[in-house]
Amino acid sequence: MNVYVCMCVCVCVCMCVCMCVCVCVCVYVYVMNLFTQITLLSLAFK
């Protein structure tokens, strides 16, 4: 069984005004490997 997961990352740059750009990435992950995927992503962003 596969699950479709989308994750968005937003980056904002402020000078005189603030502009934000958001990028979304969607991937298929196996339900049994979902916890592993989340753990790897958490470690990657630390």
Three-state SS annotation for the chain? CEEEEEEEEEEEEECCCEEEEEEEEEEEEEHHHHHHHHHHHHHHCC
Q: Looking at residue 30, what is its pLDDT?
A: 61
Mean pLDDT by 10 residues, the chain (46 residues): 76 91 78 68 74
Q: Looking at residue 46, what is its pLDDT?
A: 63
Q: Looking at residue 36, what is its pLDDT?
A: 75
Q: Looking at residue 13, what is its pLDDT?
A: 93
Domain that holds residue 40: 2-44
Q: Looking at residue 8, what is its pLDDT?
A: 87
- Cα separation, 12 vs 7, whole angstroms: 17
Q: Looking at residue 19, what is its pLDDT?
A: 92
Domain count, the chain: 1
